């Protein structure tokens, strides 16, 4: 691949890492074009599933601080770049992998933190952001200021607060007021909407 094309590919992968709420690395060997298309659709609008070259992906990951992804970049690799709720995407990938064992989850990045395959599976078992927020808003008993803070909180903070409330709440009593996380910017960012074509996904090979 010419140097200019390599640089463009690295820049594209780097941008996807930066703009996505999560990125899940998988091995896709044995999946058909139709199955790859089904997986893409299940990830939701704005998300993509792209076959990547490991050496170029490593350089892109290094440039955004994900050097610990290097051990996952071996063999045929495709990455699901998620735009939206990482929990819903993890559920979609888990369900697809159950029906199509050829898909192997290697790990990935969620909210800027590198996770292994087991953590992706655990994420899929978490209730959706909307469900958690609804429960927490109810627990606040109409305290709109704290509820508003929760609606701006990253998913990881919401999950931790949910566990804290569950542990602290005595049987039959109302929970004590909990400290709401400070309002933060949306934890989801629109990923590029130019996923690889089915032909590319079916024919692209790893450079390992």
pLDDT tens sequence across 115-135: 999 999 888 887 666 666 676
Q: What secondary structure does DSSP assign to 45-58, as a single string?
A: TT-EEEEE-HHHHH
* Whether residue 46 has pLDDT greater than 80: yes
Over residues 197-207, the mean pLDDT reads: 41
In tens, the pLDDT along 2-44 reads 788 999 999 999 999 999 999 999 999 889 999 999 999 999 8
Structure-token pair, residue 163 = 């566990």
Per-residue pLDDT band for 192 (boundaries 50, 70, 90) equals: very low
Structure-token pair, residue 202 = 């079916």
* Whether residue 112 has pLDDT greater than 60: yes
The answer to whether residues 190 and 46 touch, using CB atoms and an 8 Å cutoff, is yes
Per-residue pLDDT band for 163 (boundaries 50, 70, 90) equals: low
Give percent above pLDDT 90 in the chain: 46
Per-residue pLDDT band for 45 (boundaries 50, 70, 90) equals: confident
The residues that bridge with 113 in the sheet, in sequence order, are: 110
Distance CA 55, CA 6 (A): 10
Distance CA 64, CA 117 (A): 21
* Whether residue 160 has pLDDT greater than 80: no
Structure-token pair, residue 93 = 């990938």
In angstroms, the Cα distances linking 198 to 5, 28, 77, 99, 193 are 20, 13, 15, 20, 14
What's the pLDDT score for residue 196? Answer: 45
What's the pLDDT score for residue 81? Answer: 96
* Whether residue 170 has pLDDT greater than 70: no
pTM: 0.61
Give percent above pLDDT 70 in the chain: 60
The answer to whether residues 188 and 83 touch, using CB atoms and an 8 Å cutoff, is yes
């Amino acid at each position: 691949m010419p140097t200019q094309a390599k640089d463009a590919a690295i820049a594209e992968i780097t941008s996807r890492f930066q703009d996505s709420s999560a990125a899940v690395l998988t091995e896709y060997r044995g999946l058909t074009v139709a199955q790859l298309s089904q997986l893409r659709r299940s990830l939701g609008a704005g998300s993509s599933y792209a076959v990547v070259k490991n050496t170029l992906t490593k350089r892109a990951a290094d440039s955004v601080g994900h050097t610990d992804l290097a051990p996952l970049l071996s063999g045929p690799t495709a990455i699901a770049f998620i735009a939206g709720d990482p929990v819903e995407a993890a559920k979609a990938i888990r369900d697809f992998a159950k029906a199509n064992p050829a898909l192997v989850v290697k790990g990935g990045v969620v909210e800027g933190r590198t996770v292994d395959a087991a953590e992706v599976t655990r994420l899929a078992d978490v209730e959706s952001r909307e469900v958690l927020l609804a429960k927490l808003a109810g627990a606040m008993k109409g305290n709109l200021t704290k509820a508003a803070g929760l609606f701006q909180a990253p998913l990881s903070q919401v999950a931790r607060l949910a566990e804290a409330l569950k542990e602290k709440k005595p049987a039959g009593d109302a929970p004590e007021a909990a400290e709401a996380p400070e309002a933060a910017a949306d934890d989801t960012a629109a990923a590029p909407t130019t996923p690889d074509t089915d032909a590319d996904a079916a024919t692209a090979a790893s450079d390992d």
